[in-house]
Amino acid sequence: MLNFIQVLFDAAALGSLYALVALAIGLVFGIMRLINFAQGDYLTIGAYALVVPTASVTPPLLFGALPWPLMVAGVLATCIIVALLTERIAFRPLRNANPATLLISSFAVSYFIQHALMLVHTGRPKSIAMGSSLAQAIDIFGVRIPGVQLVTMTVTVSLLIGFVILLKKTAIGIQMRAAAENFQMARLLGVRANKVIAFGFALSGFLAGIVSLLLVAQTGTLDIKMGIMPVIFAFFATVIGGMGSLAGAALGGFLVGVTSVLLQAYLPPDLRAFRDAGVFALVILVLLVRPKGLIPSSASRERV
């Protein structure tokens, strides 16, 4: 029983992390039909901003050396700036392209960032000592929960609440929702596309920053490809949840995380290695049964 509760916490923590990445992807998809593969690389850049670019495996700290509020601010700012830059340089000129072209372009941006980072930091994985206080487990009624997991869940829940308030109550949030529903109509009603889209990217950068901090605190390592798996899982989470639906994205992220932890815990040992294949097969399955995802957005189906 205790073991089961522990698994549940693992599942919730991983689910939260994926939910945050999926939320960012869903946000951008909603406003410009772009599935942003580069979301994972914003996260990677944020993590690498913690250290000084060297070839060393245990590099000296850059933002990581600052007191933690400044460090968090530094990482968030880095991610936001990178997200805005990619929007301005790569995605804005392609705004009217079809989703497939946009997807390919985000693939290219991702590839670019990864290898640009490699030029600066070399491709070797690095270790970074950070957040050791968070790594300590906290004992709650006999269940040992790593502090990082608690932080992850707390941060996710508060961010989700924050997002709901932002989207429902603030002017820019309402404009974003309008744009996600029907972009052309929103423009006619005076929503300024550039502003809303830039804001969406800034938010996605912000989320990437948060996730990168949480990830580094959990693993203590940096890797050029560290963004790929979270973004892939989140990517599929967005699809499962229903593209363009923010609630769906968060839900999908959560589901994917939970499924993967549960499979890891309860699959027979021989099959455990194939866990991810199971998760990906789930994606295809969901799409077959519900091509529009679990919570379809109101983006209208094609009119004849």
Partner 1 sequence: MVLRLLKQAWPVLGLLLPLAVIVLLADQFGSISVERSVTEALIKIVTVVGLYIFIGNSGVVSFGHVSFMAIAAYATAWQTCCSALKPITMSGLPDFLRSHTYPVLPAGISAAILASIAAFVFGLILMRLSGIAASISTLAALFILNVVYSNWDKVTMGTASIVGLPTYVTPWLAFAVAGLAMVIAYLFQISSWGLALRATREDEVAARASGISVYWMRLAAFTLSGLVMGMAGVLHAHFLGTISVDTFFLSLTFITLTMLVVGGMRSLSGAVLGVVVISFVTDILRRMESGVSVSGQEIAIPAGSQEVVLAVVMLLVLIFRRDGLTKGREFAWPFARRQSISETKHGDA
Longest dimension (CA), the chain: 60
- Residue 37 vs 206, nearer CB to partner 1: 37
Note whether 94 binds partner 1 by CB under 8 A: yes
Q: Which of 6, 53, 112, 247 binds partner 1 (CB under 8 A)?
A: 112
Q: Which of 57, 65, 73, 108 binds partner 1 (CB under 8 A)?
A: 108
- Residue 130 vs 232, nearer CB to partner 1: 232
Note whether 103 binds partner 1 by CB under 8 A: yes
Using CB under 8 A, which residues numbered 209 to 228 contact partner 1? 228
Q: Which of 8, 81, 97, 247 binds partner 1 (CB under 8 A)?
A: 97
Report the alpha-carbon distance of residue 232 to residue 238 in Å, rounded: 10
Q: How many residues bind partner 1 (CB under 8 A)?
A: 44
Which residue's entry shows tokens 């590839």? 111
| Burial of 39 from C-beta contacts in 10 A (0-12 / 13-18 / 19+) | buried
Q: Which of 118, 137, 165, 189 binds partner 1 (CB under 8 A)?
A: 118
Structure tokens at 96: 């009217």
First to last CA, the chain: 55
Please, what is the minimum distance in Å from the beta carbon of residue 227 to partner 1? 12
Using CB under 8 A, which residues numbered 231 to 290 contact partner 1? 232, 235-236, 239, 243, 273-277, 280-281, 283-284, 287-288
Note whether 55 binds partner 1 by CB under 8 A: no
Report the alpha-carbon distance of residue 157 to residue 254 in Å, rounded: 12
Q: Which of 11, 31, 35, 246 binds partner 1 (CB under 8 A)?
A: 35
Q: What separation in angstroms does the CA of 282 have from each of 52, 229, 250, 277, 293?
A: 40, 16, 17, 8, 12
User: Residue 102 in contact with residue 212, Cβ under 8 Å?
Assistant: no
User: Residue 52 in contact with residue 128, Cβ under 8 Å?
Assistant: no
- Only segment of 75-83, 116-124, 139-147, 185-193 that touches partner 1 (CB under 8 A): 116-124
Type of residue found at 58 = T
Report the alpha-carbon distance of residue 137 to residue 102 in Å, rounded: 43
- Residue 185 vs 284, nearer CB to partner 1: 284
Structure tokens at 221: 């390592």
Q: Which residues bind partner 1 (CB under 8 A)?
A: 35, 90, 93-94, 96-101, 103-105, 107-109, 111-112, 114-116, 118-119, 123, 228, 232, 235-236, 239, 243, 273-277, 280-281, 283-284, 287-288, 291, 302, 304
